[in-house]
Structure 1
C-alpha cells in the first residue's frame, strides 16, 4: 500500500478515468502506477522533495508487492519520499493511460438484426 501525493490536476484526471472505467480510485491509481513503472526511465531527475498540500492530495492505493518494491527502490535511490515517487509514477501513467490493459469491445462480423418475438 502506498499513499501517492498527487497534483490536483492529476487527481481530477485520475478520478475521471476511474469513473469512466467503473473502477475504484485506488484501483485506477494502482494500474496507473504500474504503467508509470513501465516508463520509469522518463521520471524527471529533479523530483521535488515535497509537494505542497495546497497543490496536491493523497490517498491510499493498494499496489502489487512487486510494484511496491520497485517504487520503494526508486524512492531510496533518489532520496525522495515514497509518496512523491508514487505520485510522479501516477503522473507518468496518466500520460500513457492508453496502455492500461482493459476489456476489448466485442467485434461482431454480422450486423445486428432487430429482435423478433422468438428472440
Structure 2
C-alpha cells in the first residue's frame, strides 16, 4: 500500500477517470502507477521535495509487493519521499490513460428479459 501525494490538477483528472471507468480510486491509481513504471523515462527531473497541503491531495493505493520494491528503490535513488515519487508515477500514468485496457461494459437485461424474470418470480 502506498500513499501518493498528487498536485490538485492531477487529482482532479484522476477522479474524472475514476468516474468514467467505474472503478475505485485505489484500482485506477494502481493501474496508473504501473503505467508510470512502464514509462519511467518520462519522470521529470528534478521532482519537488514536497507539496504543501494546500496544493496537493493524498490518496491510498494498493500495489503489488514487487512494484512496491521498485518504488522504494527509485525513491532512494532520487532522494525523494515515496509519496512524491509514487504521485509522479501516477501523473505519468494519467498521460497514458488512453492506453489502459478498457472496462467491460455492464450487460443490462432487455425489457423482454426483465418481464420474463418478473413473471417467473
Would you say the 8 A contact 2:29–2:90 is kept in 1?
yes
Report how far residue 85 of structure 1 moved: 0.2
Q: TM-score, normalised by structure 1?
A: 0.84
> CA, structure 1 residues 103+59, in 2 after alignment: closer, same or farther (shift >3 Å)?
closer
Q: Which runs of 5+ in 1 are unaligned?
A: 106-114
Alpha-carbon RMSD across the aligned residues, in angstroms, is 1.4
Report how far residue 10 of structure 1 moved: 0.7
Aligned equivalents of 1:70 and 1:98: distance in 2?
24
Which residue of structure 2 aligns with residue 69 of structure 1?
Answer: 69
Q: How many residues align?
A: 106
More helix by share: 2
Q: 3-state DSSP class of the match of 2:52?
A: coil
Equivalent residues in 2 for 1:68-87, closer than 5 Å = 68-87=68-87
Report how far residue 47 of structure 1 moved: 0.4
Deviation track 1:4-35 (CA, whole Å, cap 9, x = no partner) reads 00111111111110111110011111100000
Q: TM-score, normalised by structure 2?
A: 0.82
Which residue of structure 1 aligns with residue 49 of structure 2?
Answer: 49
**1:36 and 2:5 aligned:** no
